[in-house]
Amino acid sequence: MRRLRDVGEHAWVARLVHRLAMDVGGGVHIGPGDDAAVVRPGRASLVLTVDALVEGVHFRTGWLTPAALGRRLFGVTVSDVAAMGATPRWALLATESPAETASGVLDGIVRGFARGARGAGTRLVGGNVTTGPHLALTATVVGEIDRTPVSRAGGRPGDALYVTGALGMAGIAVRQLAGGRGGRLPQPPLRVRAGRLLAAVASAMIDVSDGLVQDIGHLCRASRVAAEVELDRLPVAPRCRRALGAAASRFAATAGEDYELVLAVRPAREAALRRIVPRLGCRLTRIGRLVAGRPAVRVIDAAGTPITLARSGFDHFRR
């Protein structure tokens, strides 16, 4: 096995650049291998976001193949672009890894990232490598949007709350993997197309990364409204339902890492939303509504009785 130490940073980068250079186009004027990438945007606004996956924090060795890890990094990062209703165009990948790492591991990560990106119409145009005590990956995605972006701040009392796809699948996988019960960490669902379509009707939108309740809380604070979420309405992933039975909805409400989209929709836009749903490529479930009041998320049962959850989601500094 050739380790990064055997290959050398510059030889590794040169080989990679050679491979990626075959793959430019799509508004890329200068791709990987120079001081910086140069791309030609259209006349749209730019959407900029950065996200990271850190070994021992977001994943453990063996939970994913290198290619799956790269693909996952792209998925979690592009999710923020999707949540603005924007189109991802270009990406940068920065890696930190021990010199003892097999060079094939870094190769696989880059390949998985670039393939995932390509599948969403996005080019990997540059990056950075450094050593470090563990594997840590940081991705930047630059998107374009030629309409008003959908921020977290446009929600109003009376708006309905919807969520794409299903919740709890990644959370239950992490729990099973951390408990040594094997399995695979599922890939983020890539709601890029759904985000773009839903942007036409959403008053506010956010992706579910830290946990549904907590992320709706972010939307509430930005919009200065409260929210009511009906626990029984949550679309719970079958894998989560099988594992937890009746407790699945509570778990899915806060587990996080779903990378689904939550959006608020004004009553007047409901008809337009219904016309869009068949083209989303995923389920869309009404889970509650925004109400007047201090920013807070009330989780309720079908009768409207409040349900207390042990936590609302993930906080990096408080685990």
Q: How far is the CB of 164 from a copy of itself (least distance, A)?
A: 14
Structure tokens at 253: 């409400």
Cα–Cα separations (whole angstroms), residue 227 to 161, 195, 218, 291, 309: 8, 21, 11, 6, 15
Q: How far is the CB of 210 from a copy of itself (least distance, A)?
A: 8
- The 70-109 contact track toward a copy of itself, x by CB under 8 A, reads ----------xx-xx-x---x-xxx-x--x----------
**Cβ contact 167:235 at 8 Å:** yes
**Cβ contact 44:90 at 8 Å:** no
The verdict on 38 binding a copy of itself (CB under 8 A) reads yes
The verdict on 146 binding a copy of itself (CB under 8 A) reads no
Q: How far is the CB of 99 from a copy of itself (least distance, A)?
A: 5
Q: Please spell the DSSP secondary structure of 176-222, one letter per residue.
A: HHHTT----PPPP---HHHHHHHTTT-SEEEE-SS-HHHHHHHHHHH
The verdict on 255 binding a copy of itself (CB under 8 A) reads no
The verdict on 8 binding a copy of itself (CB under 8 A) reads yes
The verdict on 130 binding a copy of itself (CB under 8 A) reads yes
- The 224-243 contact track toward a copy of itself, x by CB under 8 A, reads --------------------
Choice from 15, 18, 29, 274 touching a copy of itself (CB under 8 A): 29
Q: How far is the CB of 35 from a copy of itself (least distance, A)?
A: 4
The verdict on 159 binding a copy of itself (CB under 8 A) reads no
**Cβ contact 299:309 at 8 Å:** yes
Q: How far is the CB of 54 from a copy of itself (least distance, A)?
A: 5
Choice from 69, 73, 120, 129 touching a copy of itself (CB under 8 A): 129
Of 93 and 284, which CB lies nearer to a copy of itself in the complex structure?
93
* Alpha helices in 255-303, H assignment, sequence order: 270-276
Count, residues near a copy of itself per rule CB under 8 A: 75
Residue type, 173: A
Cα–Cα separations (whole angstroms), residue 34 to 127, 128, 186, 212, 307: 10, 11, 34, 41, 55
Location of structure tokens 């939550």: 262
Distance CA 116, CA 111 (A): 8
Of 100 and 232, which CB lies nearer to a copy of itself in the complex structure?
100
